[in-house]
Amino acid sequence: MANKAVQLNPNLPQAHASLGVVLAWKRQHEAGVAEFEKAVALNPNFTDWRMAIALVYAGQGERAVEVLKSHMRLDPFYVPLAPHWLGLAHYTLGQYPEALAALGECALRAPNYGAVHLWLAVTHARMGQTDAARAEADKVLALDPGFTIERVAKSTIAFKYKEAEEDCFEAMRLAGLPER
């Protein structure tokens, strides 16, 4: 559908952004980022929080932070997922206090969004805050009783670099989340 949107109107930034996010989830990192860059080239005022998905997964955390801070400044009604991805960007840069602040905002705005509790657990684990990590892990399991690291590894983590994925999986283990 995203490809079709670009075919129907190659001058529509939103079409390129939609294709960019699809490509990011499909682990086509450079192509995903390139589609967002096309969107911005078509309209320099274009902003889309989802560009951070492509950037974070492509290993461009610093740029993701810049894009999200700009987006959040320009759109005061940004979606709760914007601070979630800001938290992930900070996490990938090892900026754990900043990650906690952004993820905490997302959790306040979307308390039943399981992924934010997962990343809060991971971040607390990396900071050595075992009790807080386990409390967030408990929230993950309450929202998704079938959660396993193995399932997440196959379906929702799309980092370009295996080291980034392994770091996350190890932090999930430290938080007490089940492997299988």
State how far the Cα of 16 lies from the Cα of 2, in Å rounded to an integer. 8
Handedness of CA 8, 12, 15, 19 (dihedral sign): positive
> What confidence score (pLDDT) does residue 37 get?
98
> What confidence score (pLDDT) does residue 157 get?
86
Instruction: List Cβ<8 Å contacts ≥24 apart for 98-102.
Output: 99/123, 100/124, 100/127
State how far the Cα of 63 lies from the Cα of 55, in Å rounded to an integer. 7
At a CB cut-off of 8 Å and minimum separation 6, what does 80 contact? 105, 106, 109, 110, 113
Length in residues, the chain:
180
At a CB cut-off of 8 Å and minimum separation 6, what does 123 contact? 87, 91, 96, 99, 100, 103, 171
> What confidence score (pLDDT) does residue 156 get?
84
Per-residue pLDDT of the chain in tens (180 residues, 90 and over written 9):
999 999 999 999 999 999 999 999 999 999 999 999 999 999 999 999 999 999 999 999 999 999 999 999 999 999 999 999 999 999 999 999 999 999 999 999 999 999 999 999 999 999 999 999 999 999 999 999 999 999 999 888 899 999 999 999 999 999 999 999
State how far the Cα of 167 lies from the Cα of 149, in Å rounded to an integer. 12
Q: Kindly compute the dihedral angle of the four CA atoms of residues 69, 73, 76, 82, in this order, to the nearest 10 degrees.
A: -10
Topology at the third CATH level for domain 62-174: 1.25.40
> What confidence score (pLDDT) does residue 60 get?
98
Number of other CB atoms surrounding residue 136 within 10 Å: 26
Q: Kindly compute the dihedral angle of the four CA atoms of residues 142, 172, 164, 80, in this order, to the nearest 10 degrees.
A: 30
> What confidence score (pLDDT) does residue 125 get?
98
State how far the Cα of 109 lies from the Cα of 111, in Å rounded to an integer. 6
Domain ranges for the chain, please list them: 1-46, 62-174
> pTM of the entire structure?
0.94
